[in-house]
């Protein structure tokens, strides 16, 4: 999931903005997304939520702050709230440890 998330940003930057949408309209209906970290956690700019009975609540998140960027993955959450809380903890622990992007990236 991490490789997929990083590849999406690198290989398809022109489509990446779709992953930060909180909602969209389709056939006259507004469809709300499930990534509650968007707009709530500083630097979160999207990716993918999901639920599969076999693995629980899952989340792939991309975060950028102060020239640093990480992709973090949580799989197997018991609920969306537990999954989100775990992701927030990962972001706070690992963002300060991330290297700063070079100008050539």
For the chain, domain boundaries: 2-97
**What whole-number distance in Å separates Cα of residue 1 and Cα of residue 11?**
15
pTM for this one? Answer: 0.86
CA 36, CA 14: separation in Å to the nearest integer? 23
**How many helical (H) and strand (E) elements, i.e. helices and strands, does the chain have?**
2, 5
60, 54, 105, 65: which is closest to 84 by C-alpha? 60
94: tokens are: 């690992």
In this predicted structure, what is the pLDDT of residue 102?
A: 57
Rounded to the nearest angstrom, the gap between the alpha carbon of residue 86 and the centroid of all alpha carbons in its chain is 13
Superfamily of domain 2-97: DD-peptidase/beta-lactamase superfamily (3.40.710.10)
Single out the residue of 30, 20, 9, 34 nearest to residue 84, CA to CA. 34
Average pLDDT, consecutive stretches of 10 residues, N- to C-terminus, the chain (105 residues): 91 91 94 92 92 94 93 96 97 93 53
| Residue spans of alpha helices (H) in the chain | 2-11, 80-94
């Amino acid at each position: 999931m991490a490789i997929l998330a990083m590849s999406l940003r690198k290989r398809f930057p022109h489509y990446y903005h779709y992953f930060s949408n909180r909602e969209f309209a389709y056939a006259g209906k507004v469809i709300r997304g499930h990534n509650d970290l968007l707009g709530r956690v500083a630097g979160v700019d999207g990716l993918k939520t999901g639920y599969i009975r076999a693995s629980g609540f899952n989340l792939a998140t991309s975060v950028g702050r102060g020239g640093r960027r990480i992709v973090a993955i949580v799989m197997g959450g018991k609920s969306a709230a537990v999954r989100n809380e775990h992701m927030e903890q990962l972001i706070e622990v690992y963002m300060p440890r991330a290297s700063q992007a070079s100008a050539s990236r």
